[in-house]
Every structure is written in C-alpha cells, then in structure tokens.
Structure 1
Amino acid sequence: MARTPSNMIPLGTIAPGFKLKDTNSNNEEYSFEDLKGSKGTLVIFMCNHCPFVLHVIKEIVMIANDYRVQGIGVVAISSNDIVKYPQDSPEMMTEFAFQNKIDFPYLFDESQEVAKAYEAACTPDFYLFDSQDRLFYHGQLDDSRPGNGIPLSGSDLRSAIDALIYNRSLNEIQKPSIGCSIKWK
C-alpha cells in the first residue's frame, strides 16, 4: 500500500472554482459557490477503492453530519482515472455513497483539472476553506492509518473546523494527509 502525502500548499490560497457532476444526485452539476457553507467549506478528494479512504469513511460522514448544521459546506471529489480504475466510475461512486450513507455531494472530476488546480496528491486529501474561500487547513484527519492501531478520531480535522467556526487560532504547522496517490491518466 503506497503512502503518498498531501502537497502542502500555502494557507490563504483561494479555493479554485469548479463545476462538476454529482454522482449522488442524478448527475446535477455543482460549483464551489453552490456548495460553500456560510462559515466555511470542506473539500475532500477521495475515491471508492483506496484503503486509506475505506479506513476513514465513517468518520468523514460523521464530521460532515456534525458540521454541516454549523455552517460548513462539505463536498467530496473523485479524480481517479476510471479506465485503469473502473471501481471509481461514477456508477460505482453512486453505489459507494449509498453504502456509506454519504448525503453530501460526491463529484466526479473526469478531466482531472480540478485535482490539478487544488494540487491534490492523495486520497483522502482534506482542504478546509474559510467563509472568504481562503485555505484555512490542509492536513490529515488524524494519526490513524490502516493497520497502525491508532483509534480513528478525526481530531486534527475536527480541531481545525472548530477553530474556524469559533474564531480560534490554529497551528500553522499542519501534518499532511497520507493516502493512495490520485490515479492520473
């Protein structure tokens, strides 16, 4: 299992725009503007087959459910090459969302342009933007990884979201997420 870290881009970077089809709602197209929350927006690059995503998906869903009601928009994007990885196709994304009770948009980045614009490197890769669309946090969910025995808590991401919502300072040193590489064409 390859371990690819996030590309750590500068905090304050403005969220790149996008317009992508949602595999979780009859292929409606959504933009960043459509999905942003009043207090901030969490953009997650993920896919269906990555063992790192499978390890954390329940916590991702819990975080989305906990924080959307507090003004955080949540969106997931899959950018993997579906020719080489058909298990990440839009049809399979719809099934994955259903099986995992994902009720936030799960968008398909067929051209991979959105992943490139965000400099996304791995799945999962978490980007938390403030209400002005500036990058506030880009790091790991927590220290848990498949097989390392550390319990899943979501503590790093939850602390970042709490800091954003409650206007607290956040440590500028952020641990990169670790996961499978995005499967480029």
Structure 2
Amino acid sequence: MLLDTPICDFGWKAPNFTLKNPHGDVFTMSEHLGDKGLLIMFICNHCPYVKAIAARLAEDTKLLMAEGINVLAVMSNDYHLVDADSPANMLRFAEQHGFTFPYLVDEDQQVGQQYGAVCTPDFFGFNALGELQYRGRLDDTRLQNDPNRIPELVNAMQLIAAIGKGPKQQTASMGCSIKWR
C-alpha cells in the first residue's frame, strides 16, 4: 500500500533506542546524535521505492557522513512475514547498494512505532538537541534517476547542521507501508 509521511512536527524530541545490526553489533541512538545532527531513516529491502532510490541514498548519506552528520537506518518490517527483509537479506542489500551507515533490525517493531514511521522510506532529520527538523523526501525525482535532481534531504540536513533548523517547506516522502505484525 502506497503511503505519504505526515508533515514535520518541528521540535518533536527523538526517543532514544538501542538496536542491533544483522551482525549483532549494538547501536544506541543517543550516542549518534552528533553536534551536526542525526538522520534516522526507516527503510527495507523489498520496497520498490527504496530499491529505486538506493544508489542515490548511498551517495547522499556518504556525503552527509563526510560532513559530520550521523546516519542510522532502521528496518521495522516484520521480516517473518516478508522474508526479503530478513537480517541476512539486509546484509546483502546493504552490500549490493554500498550502504556505509548502520542498518539496524527493529525486531519487536517498537522503534518504528515510537517514531510513528509510516512507510519506507521515511526520513527523520534531527538537530544536535534531538529535535525533529525534517520529515520530507530524498529528492524531487520520485522513482527516476535524474542528474538534475534537487537533493532535498541533503539540503535539509546541511541546513540543520549549520543552523539547527530545517526548511519550512518540505514535501512528504512516499513509499510502501511498514509491514506490522
């Protein structure tokens, strides 16, 4: 089912969480909330929207991380229902697309529920205080690869890193519904 994300609730405080990647390494959100902010993305492996943006997502997040903006990805789908989203497939998907950010398993779906994640991809851009400043889309191209695209997520996160505030105008992300138990 195709869904759009809600508009940004500016200032909403990010709940802390601790999740593991498929290798069992532990990541705590508060430890990644850097002085230039944090991007938390809800993605999965099987969604056609995530597949369509995966290369651009890898490129954009590498740029953000090189600029000192931290990035975490969370997979909240029920992978017992959708095997393509299993931890083993998460490793393959991340390697295939060159993801350099931690890709974490939300086994009990609690993090996705706490954040009000709606679809994949769903982007949450936080400032250094853990306040939500961006809940928009990756770029203006939808499913196409366009060399003249406007990298809205990168632009928003760079603004948040610089002044602690996100853009007032944001376009909702669109994607597949999260597969809840």
TM-score category of the 2 structures, normalised to the smaller one: over 0.9
Q: Which residue of 2 aligns with 1:22?
A: 21
Q: Which residue of 2 aligns with 1:72?
A: 69
CA distance in 1, matches of 2:21, 2:165: 34
Q: 1:154 to 1:179 in 2, by over 3 A?
A: farther
C-alpha RMSD over aligned residues: 1.7
CA distance in 2, matches of 1:170, 1:118: 18
Choose which of 114, 117, 120 in structure 2 pairs with 1:117: 114
Flag structure 2 segments of 5+ consecutive residues without an equivalent.
Answer: none
Q: By how many angstroms is 1:89 displaced?
A: 0.6
Q: Which residue of 1 aligns with 2:173?
A: 177
For 1:134, the aligned partner's letter is E
Q: Which residue of 2 aligns with 1:97?
A: 94
The question of 1:12 aligning with 2:8 is answered no
Choose which of 70, 74, 82 in structure 2 pairs with 1:85: 82
CA distance in 2, matches of 1:134, 1:11: 7
CA distance in 1, matches of 2:28, 2:168: 28
CA distance in 1, matches of 2:115, 2:57: 19
Q: Which residue of 2 aligns with 1:166?
A: 162
1:110-156 CA distances to partner (integer Å, 9 max, x unpaired)?
1111001000000000000001110111111122223xx57263521
Asked if structure 2 preserves the Cα contact closer than 8 Å seen for 1:59 and 1:154, the reply is no
Asked if structure 1 preserves the Cα contact closer than 8 Å seen for 2:5 and 2:119, the reply is yes
Q: 1:89 to 1:150 in 2, by over 3 A?
A: closer
Q: 1:9 to 1:159 in 2, by over 3 A?
A: closer
Q: Which residue of 2 aligns with 1:155?
A: 151
CA distance in 1, matches of 2:151, 2:162: 16
Report the 3-state secondary structure (helix = DSSP H, G, I; strand = E; otherwise coil) of the residue aligned with 1:166: helix
For 1:15, the aligned partner's letter is A
1:69-90 CA distances to partner (integer Å, 9 max, x unpaired)?
2221101000001121011011
1:18-46 CA distances to partner (integer Å, 9 max, x unpaired)?
111112xx211111022223210000000
Which 4+ runs in 1 deviate beyond 3 A?
Answer: 168-171
1:44-64 CA distances to partner (integer Å, 9 max, x unpaired)?
000001010011111111111
Among the aligned pairs, what percent are the same residue? 36
In the comparison of the two structures, how many residue pairs are matched? Answer: 180
For 2:118, the aligned partner's letter is A
| TM-score, length of structure 2 as denominator length | 0.92
Q: Which residue of 2 aligns with 1:51?
A: 48
Asked if structure 2 preserves the Cα contact closer than 8 Å seen for 1:45 and 1:76, the reply is yes
